[in-house]
């Protein structure tokens, strides 16, 4: 009976591997039909995905209002629906306010800051050339940078974009139809996502219970526990990341504006919006904001640009070492090298969205890796003390211990 069960298990595994290989072969062979099929599937489920994404964002302030505000003003047992509705309304007001702020203030000011910085690059290069006349190597590098930028024809790129959007006479209708179709489908997806997100926000408790019913009914309990744990870990990582980054962006932008006004630095509003908005990108965001700010201020006063850089560095240190531990706490638990690598890889693969989203994903993978490492170390009965001793041993000590396993101490001394 055991042999039959083993054979059945082996045949099932072989069948599973064979099906995976067959599916991979047909996917690679028919890559274009498969990709078009996936695109059409995405078009169908896009409103649902968008609804889940909006509901996820809405759920962050909604939990706060339910637990900290209306949950204390009203009795949760008697007025559960009232608390839920009020929390949802106030969360949506915050959401629409944030979207309005992004569309009407942050994006235009960011574009304006970028355009101003680009226009100031030639003047910035000329100023650097003047200040580096006594350093020939650096002066030559500045001249080369200025010459390369002057050969970069922005007007030509603008003309090409305009030509593409306008198109030839025969293609105007096709392009217009394509743009209108894209805009209308996006608006429909947003509207459906909005409606779906309201449903998810109101029925999140029942959806959670039903999802767990499906999970534990169709998977073994251990596997269902693992899926449940990873799901909650992923939600927690993204929720904490968004909570902390949004709060951090607001505080950093506000303090930067106050500080620049006190120091009487130019472009205080524009640079503060840029500093706050780009802080959502760990590591690279503050560097980009500092570069843009320094570039814009340097044209008016090199000394003020130096003051701005020093002020921003001090402000970010206050944010990292005082604001985070006291107000936010250890929000990610991710080592600095993991944050840097995740942001770099995310940016290379998926641009700005990748830079933002890869950090919480890295938190998920790092936590799972840590759990597995702790479990394996416990199975091998290796504690923290012995690990520290092994890590602090020098090469000579380890070599001596390895040789003493096969040789006497006198022989080891002769060898070493």
Q: What is the pTM of this model?
A: 0.67
SS (H, E, C) the chain: CHHHHHHHHHHHHHHHHHHHHHHHHHHHHCHHHHHHHHHHHHHHHHHHHHHHHHHHHHHHHHHHHHHHHHHHHCCCCCCHHHHHHHHHHHHHHHHHHHHHHHHHHHHHHHHHHHHHHHHHHHHHHHHHHHHCCCCHHHHHHHHHHHHHHHCCCHHHHHHHHHHHHHCCHHHHHHHHHHHHHHHHHHHHHHHHHHHHHHHHHHCHHHHHHHHHHHHHHHCCHHHHHHHHHHHHHHHHHHHHHHHHHHHHHHHHHHHHHHHHHHCCCCCHHHHHHHHHHHCCCCCHHHHHHHHHHHHHHHHHCHHHHHHHHHHHHHHHHHHHHHHHHHHHCCCCCCCHHHHHHHHHHHHHHHHHHHHHHHHHHHHHHHHHHHHHHHHHHHHCCCCHHHHHHHHHCCHHHHHHHHHHCCCCHHHHHHHC
Percent of the chain whose predicted confidence (pLDDT) is above 90: 2
What is the per-residue pLDDT across 300-322, written as a single tens digit (0 to 9) for each? 787 888 899 999 988 888 877 77
Q: Please, are residues 255 and 315 in contact by the beta-carbon 8 Å criterion?
A: yes
Q: Please, are residues 107 and 273 in contact by the beta-carbon 8 Å criterion?
A: no
pLDDT at 169 over 60: no
Task: Tell me the C-alpha distance between 37 and 296, whole Å.
Answer: 48
Q: Please, are residues 252 and 319 in contact by the beta-carbon 8 Å criterion?
A: yes
pLDDT at 358 over 80: yes
Task: Tell me the C-alpha distance between 64 and 55, whole Å.
Answer: 14
Q: Please, are residues 241 and 361 in contact by the beta-carbon 8 Å criterion?
A: no
pLDDT average, residue stretch 356-367: 85
Average pLDDT, the chain: 76
Among 207, 195, 202, 197, which Cα is nearest to 81's?
202
**pLDDT band at residue 243, thresholds of 50, 70 and 90?**
confident
pLDDT at 362 over 80: yes
Q: Distance of CA 44 to CAs 35, 121, 203, 207, Å?
A: 14, 45, 22, 21
What is the per-residue pLDDT across 18-47, written as a single tens digit (0 to 9) for each? 777 777 766 666 667 766 777 777 777 777
187 vs 365, residue with greater confidence: 365
pLDDT at 177 over 70: no
What is the per-residue pLDDT across 103-136, written as a single tens digit (0 to 9) for each? 887 778 777 777 776 777 777 767 767 766 667 7
**pLDDT for the residue 326:** 61
**pLDDT for the residue 151:** 61
Domain boundaries, the chain: 1-119+173-202, 229-379, 383-416
Instruction: Say if residue 388 is exposed, middle or buried (CB neighbours under 10 Å; 0-12, 13-18, 19+).
Output: exposed
**pLDDT for the residue 202:** 78
**pLDDT band at residue 142, thresholds of 50, 70 and 90?**
low
pLDDT average, residue stretch 175-196: 62
**pLDDT for the residue 291:** 84
pLDDT at 138 over 60: yes
Residue with tokens 């591997």: 17
Q: Please, are residues 57 and 95 in contact by the beta-carbon 8 Å criterion?
A: yes
**Cα within 13 Å of Cα(228), Cβ side:** 18
Task: Tell me the C-alpha distance between 108 and 114, whole Å.
Answer: 10
Residue 258: alpha-carbon gap to chain centroid: 27
């Amino acid at each position: 009976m055991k042999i039959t069960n083993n054979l059945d298990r082996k045949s099932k595994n072989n069948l599973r591997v064979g099906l995976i290989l067959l599916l991979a072969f047909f996917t690679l062979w028919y890559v274009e039909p498969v990709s078009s099929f996936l695109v059409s599937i995405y078009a169908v489920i896009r409103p649902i995905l968008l609804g889940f994404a909006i509901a996820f964002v809405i759920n962050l302030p909604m939990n706060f209002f339910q637990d900290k505000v209306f949950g204390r003003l009203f009795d949760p047992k008697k007025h559960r629906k009232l608390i839920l509705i009020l929390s949802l309304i106030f969360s949506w007001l915050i959401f629409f306010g944030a979207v309005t702020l992004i569309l009407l203030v942050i994006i235009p000011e960011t574009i304006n800051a970028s355009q101003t910085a680009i226009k100031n690059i030639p003047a910035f290069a000329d100023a650097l050339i003047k200040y580096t006349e006594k350093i020939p190597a650096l002066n030559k590098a500045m001249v080369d940078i200025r010459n390369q930028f002057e050969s970069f024809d922005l007007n030509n790129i603008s003309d090409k974009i305009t030509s593409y959007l306008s198109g030839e006479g025969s293609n105007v209708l096709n392009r217009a139809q394509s743009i209108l179709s894209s805009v209308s489908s996006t608006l429909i997806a947003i509207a459906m996502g909005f409606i779906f997100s309201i449903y998810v926000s109101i029925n999140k408790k029942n959806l959670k219970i039903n999802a767990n019913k499906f999970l534990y009914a169709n998977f073994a309990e251990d596997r269902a526990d693992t899926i449940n744990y990873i799901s909650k870990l992923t939600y927690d990582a993204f929720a904490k990341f968004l909570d902390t980054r949004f709060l951090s962006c607001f505080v950093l932008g506000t303090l930067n504006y106050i500080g620049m006004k006190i120091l009487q630095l130019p472009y205080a509003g524009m640079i503060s919006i840029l500093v706050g908005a780009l802080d959502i990108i760990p590591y690279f965001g503050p560097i980009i904001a500092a570069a843009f700010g320094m570039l814009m201020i340097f044209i008016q006063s090199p000394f003020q640009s130096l003051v701005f850089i020093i002020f921003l560095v001090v402000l970010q240190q206050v944010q990292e070492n005082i604001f985070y531990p006291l107000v936010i706490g250890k929000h990610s638990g991710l080592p600095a090298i993991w944050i840097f690598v995740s942001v770099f890889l995310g940016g290379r693969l998926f641009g700005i969205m990748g830079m933002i989203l890869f950090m919480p994903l890295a938190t998920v993978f790092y936590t799972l890796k840590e759990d597995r490492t702790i479990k394996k170390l416990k199975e091998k009965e290796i504690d923290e003390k012995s690990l520290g001793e092994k890590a602090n041993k020098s090469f000579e000590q380890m070599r001596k211990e390895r040789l003493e396993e096969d040789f006497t101490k006198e022989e080891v001394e002769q060898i070493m």
